Structure 1
Amino acid sequence: MWHPRKEWAVVHQSRGLHQPTSGFSLGTWVFLAIALGLLFRVLYLHFSSPLSKVPGPFIATFSRWWLAYHGWRGDFHQLLTRLHEQYGDIVRIGPDEVITISPEAVKKIYGAGSQFRKSEWYRPQQGERKFDLFAERDIITHRNHRRLVNNAYATTSLQELEPYMDSAITYFMDTLHHRQEECLDLGLWLQLFAFDVIGEVTFSQRFGLMDAGKESEALRQIKKVLRSTSWVGQVPYVYKIHQLLLPIVGNRLALTARNGSLREFAVRQVQSRVLRGSDHRDMLGRFVEINKAKPVDFDEAALISMTASNIAAGSDTTAISLRSMIYYLLKNPNCMKKLVQEIDKATERMPPHSVVTYEQASSMSYLQAVMNEAMRIHSIVGHNMQRVVPREGIQIGEHYIPAGVIIGTSPYVLGRSEGIYGPDARRFRPERWLEDGQKYDLWSGYLAFGGASRLCIGKNISWMEMSKVLATLLRNFVVEFADANTEWEEVC
């Protein structure tokens, strides 16, 4: 009785080991289910989505990662230019995102009273800060915060800030005088100057970059933050996942420096300024006044946030614009000659080497036209300034874009639109800003500083700085290309 049962057991087990399997394994079924789910998603987004009739590349119907890739590469402005050339005034660039260069649509999106709030693209930049004018997405919160600090940036405040700016410009001119006849990277020196100006107007003391003649760690951090933000903003959930895993994997995103090392840099500058004291009513002094008047609404965290924003936003943007102005003047010698003649005439009674006043620079019509033209043809913003379509939706030509969709425009592409600026849109021609009857069309494509309630709060300070330094530089020096055939490199 024992032996047969054992033999049966052996035979039974043997058959089990060698019997061929039939059907799919659990892993195969899971893979097929995921593949089919993705396929149905792609088909829905391509054919049944409310955006299915908006033209655009096929990959845009189901993925945002291709946008993240171009954000990382730094060629977003070139990508969006090509897409508009291929598909027209409105293009689908993501499963839930479109871009447009329609002047009517742009006015609705960014104009006065707009209810198009900022998208999730801005969330990683704000991080955990409760006070951030640039990245704040709630319209009412942004409005209330802006009212608190508006006076610190108002036109009436410029007169008090101008002497601090003059100090930095004088030092810049003296530095260049000692380096006459040298071949130098003027683009770098404009960056060092712009960063030192921020130190002067915010803390009554330059950061010392022009003394060192090279970038500081803080400036390098800003560049890393900008590149990181450019791609992470396209897939903002990456930031959320990163923050959850931060205790395990550590920091892996450079954009967090805006809430970390750059914030610490701002804190050190504030502490240094408080310790040494100053009778200057600089930007920090104004923030302290707001803090004392409204400590609940504008606490110390808000004060640090505003000073950090001054540092991060006020230097790179100004340097880019100054580079553009000088680059296009050098590429167009007739424009350079005309501008220098205007500057010389307006300042002929001034002592040598003195700094051009903002009042003088503002009265130079061709100078102002040159600045507007350079910022039109080479806007500092190349990517899509994302907004969210409100409840009522928006009609753009034959396309209705429903609520919740991300929409926007690229100021770089918009500023080169032939539909707004004519067949010579890509030609540097300052005279267009001095011609009668064209103002509305010109300004409808000009978003160099944003628009309406989201207009850059530091616009007045930046414009004064650029007007004064450009006029003073060309009054004192002849600037030439080291190699006229070398084109500049653009990184968005």
Structure 2
Amino acid sequence: MAYLVLIVEVAVFTVVCTILVCTYVAIRRILFHPYSKIPGPFFAKVTNVYSAYHSWRGTMHLDVQICHQKYGDLIRYGPNQILTLYPPDMNAIYGHGKPFRKSKGYETMIPIPDGWSTMTSIDKTLHHNLRRVLRSGLTTESLARYEPAILRNLKIYFSQLTQERDGEGWSSTGDMRKWNLCLGFDTMAEFGLGLKTNLLSGPARDFVFPALHVHEKKMGLWEQLPILNDLGIGNLVSITFLLFSPRAKLFANWYQTFLEEAIATNTAKSSGIFGPPIQSGQGLLEKPGHNYAQMIGEGSFSTFSSADAYGIMISGFLHYLTQYPHVYEKLAVELRSKFRPGEEITWGPKLESSAYLRAVIDEVMRLLPPACGVHWRECERSGVTIGPDELSMPVGSDVGMSLFALFRDGRIFRKPVLFWPERWIPGTLPEAEYSLAKKMFTPFSVGPRNCAGGHVAIMMTSIAYTYILVNYEFRYDPEQEKATSSLWPNSSKEPGTQSELRFESHYSIAGWESGPFIQFQERK
């Protein structure tokens, strides 16, 4: 009995101490923190669980936008995290030579210990070396060599989509979210590494994407609460999934095979634009930048993230053009005057000179930026300020900007939720307004950590959009609209949101689970 009483007393004492410590920490963070006067959600001032909740739920991009509308340009979004929407802060945080580095949350994104990639590396010197190797595969010569993979997979994509047709030649309705994930991965696996993953026509898609969906949601949660990763919970979750989920086991085997084939195919010579990091990781380059673990991280992250971004761009294109018929017609006239059905479409002067095509691409990226989440940066030295009132940043604190909120800021972009490619055509807007919009439109970020493959994304989407419009008519299936009614709207009750592509998350693979629903008719 005495032992039982002792155990109860220790438990009660532990609980009381925990409550007192938590209360002390909460009071300190609310009243005596350097950010105590910065407005923001109450619970965000106390704990990062607030942002982790929205990350897991898939509403972080919306919550950030709503918070900016409610609290202003500067928001306290965590005990040591500040969100800014003040335009000059874009360059002050992300520009060259600025005293910020990627936050500690990026460490939770590496697939294996030391498996840093160009996109996740925190150390600036390491990033420079990794990026140098990655960019060596993104030259004009390299892109031209592997470009045929883009058209090759588009043709497979449409051969699958149009197998069943009605009397007028219209295909059965396709769920573009599912098809475009497959298109993105098959294209980038071949274009990037010379691999044929065959997700468009094979059964692996049934277990690959659900596994990646769970992994990416977990990665978003871990980024907001790195302590979960530090405690080893990430490894525990992964082991549990492998023990109890048949799909997880299938994906693990598929992924291992993917890595082995990527290494074998790119050892003697590059077979795709991501070949140099593979060779670098094996010490085959004169100036290597990757070790073996970093080779794995680079190959996986670059291929998977670019694949999904490409798929999202196709989905956005199909959705918005069916919602805005005048844009469809205007772009169709421009592109069909340059190419005929069945003609090989390659990146060159005809595509590069298509002003309205580029305007449409930019407008899709504005409404569906490649990364809707917050790009957190950690302050490296004292004396740094942000915001119009020059808020001082303590060393080690995080600051970030949401491209989703920025690109829908009505002070910068007129009619922000309207799909209006003409805004990117010189002469449509007053010069000052046009210049500000161009300056703040940074879908690939700015500075030394911007996306190394931004020009590749423009090339790929230009070819894909042109191929689709030249060879096919397409239309939205209104009967399927109810299938997306439960998804989160992109904006909060703004005019024009009825024509939005709805999606579920600020992360890509988890972006939305279905839609748009499109039918195609081949042009002769």
Q: TM-score, normalised by structure 1?
A: 0.85
Aligned counterpart for 2:67 among listed residues 80, 83, 88: 83
| 1:354 corresponds to | 343
| 2:190 corresponds to | 200
Which one is further off, 181-190 or 406-415?
181-190
Equivalences for residues 388-467 of structure 1 within 5 A: 388-391=378-381, 392-402=383-393, 403-422=395-414, 424-436=415-427, 437=431, 438-467=433-462
Question: In the alignment, is residue 154 of structure 1 matched against residue 139 of structure 2?
Answer: yes
Question: In the alignment, is residue 475 of structure 1 matched against residue 459 of structure 2?
Answer: no
Counterparts of 2:356 and 2:364, CA distance in 1: 12
Equivalences for residues 111-150 of structure 1 within 5 A: 111-126=95-110, 127-150=112-135
| 2:42 corresponds to | 58
What's the CA shift for 1:213? 7.5
2:399 partner SS: strand
Letter in 2 for 1:128: P
Which one is further off, 171-180 or 393-402?
171-180
- Over 3 Å counting, the alpha-carbon distance change for 1:34 and 1:433 in structure 2 is same
- Over 3 Å counting, the alpha-carbon distance change for 1:28 and 1:193 in structure 2 is closer
Task: Give the gaps of 5 or more residues in structure 1.
Answer: 1-16
C-alpha contact (below 8 Å) 1:155/1:460 kept by paired residues: no
| 2:213 corresponds to | 223
Counterparts of 1:458 and 1:216, CA distance in 2: 29
Q: CA RMSD in A?
A: 3.1
2:200 partner SS: helix
- Over 3 Å counting, the alpha-carbon distance change for 1:381 and 1:298 in structure 2 is closer
What's the CA shift for 1:249? 9.6
C-alpha contact (below 8 Å) 2:367/2:417 kept by paired residues: yes
- Over 3 Å counting, the alpha-carbon distance change for 1:124 and 1:131 in structure 2 is closer
Aligned counterpart for 1:380 among listed residues 362, 365, 370: 370
What's the CA shift for 1:469? 0.9
Task: Give the gaps of 5 or more residues in structure 2.
Answer: 485-500, 506-524
- Over 3 Å counting, the alpha-carbon distance change for 1:50 and 1:271 in structure 2 is closer
Counterparts of 2:320 and 2:220, CA distance in 1: 26
Which one is further off, 88-97 or 293-302?
293-302
Counterparts of 2:196 and 2:235, CA distance in 1: 38
Counterparts of 1:274 and 1:435, CA distance in 2: 44
1:159 partner SS: helix
C-alpha contact (below 8 Å) 1:262/1:308 kept by paired residues: no
After superposition, give the CA deviation of every residue in 1:398-439 in whole Å (9 maximum; x if it has no partner): 2513232211011111110112113x1121111111124345
After superposition, give the CA deviation of every residue in 1:126-160 in whole Å (9 maximum; x if it has no partner): 24124411111111211122112211123443212
Which one is further off, 385-394 or 148-157?
148-157
What's the CA shift for 1:453? 1.3
Using the aligned pairs only, state the percent identity: 21
| 2:176 corresponds to | 186
C-alpha contact (below 8 Å) 2:133/2:288 kept by paired residues: no
After superposition, give the CA deviation of every residue in 1:154-197 in whole Å (9 maximum; x if it has no partner): 34432122122222223334434434421111232222111111
Aligned counterpart for 1:491 among listed residues 504, 514, 517: 504
Counterparts of 1:229 and 1:381, CA distance in 2: 14
Question: In the alignment, is residue 309 of structure 1 matched against residue 301 of structure 2?
Answer: yes
Letter in 1 for 2:226: P
Letter in 1 for 2:468: L
Counterparts of 2:254 and 2:130, CA distance in 1: 21
What's the CA shift for 1:285? 4.5
Which one is further off, 24-33 or 152-161?
24-33
C-alpha contact (below 8 Å) 1:242/1:252 kept by paired residues: no
Counterparts of 1:387 and 1:76, CA distance in 2: 17
C-alpha contact (below 8 Å) 2:278/2:295 kept by paired residues: yes
Which one is further off, 384-393 or 284-293?
284-293
2:370 partner SS: coil
C-alpha contact (below 8 Å) 1:97/1:407 kept by paired residues: yes
1:282 partner SS: coil
Counterparts of 2:124 and 2:290, CA distance in 1: 18
Counterparts of 2:473 and 2:234, CA distance in 1: 54
C-alpha contact (below 8 Å) 2:103/2:377 kept by paired residues: yes
Counterparts of 2:38 and 2:253, CA distance in 1: 42
C-alpha contact (below 8 Å) 1:389/1:401 kept by paired residues: no
1:93 partner SS: strand
Letter in 2 for 1:426: V
What's the CA shift for 1:210? 1.6
- Over 3 Å counting, the alpha-carbon distance change for 1:88 and 1:262 in structure 2 is farther
What's the CA shift for 1:462? 2.5
Letter in 2 for 1:114: K
Relative to its length, the structure with more helix (as a share) is 1
- Over 3 Å counting, the alpha-carbon distance change for 1:99 and 1:244 in structure 2 is closer
- Over 3 Å counting, the alpha-carbon distance change for 1:457 and 1:217 in structure 2 is farther
Counterparts of 1:464 and 1:343, CA distance in 2: 15
1:469 partner SS: helix
What's the CA shift for 1:304? 3.3
After superposition, give the CA deviation of every residue in 1:221-260 in whole Å (9 maximum; x if it has no partner): 32222111111111011011126975x9945699x99x97
2:476 partner SS: coil
Counterparts of 1:25 and 1:173, CA distance in 2: 69
Counterparts of 1:296 and 1:151, CA distance in 2: 11
- Structure possessing the higher radius of gyration over alpha carbons: 1
What's the CA shift for 1:97? 0.6
Letter in 1 for 2:99: Q
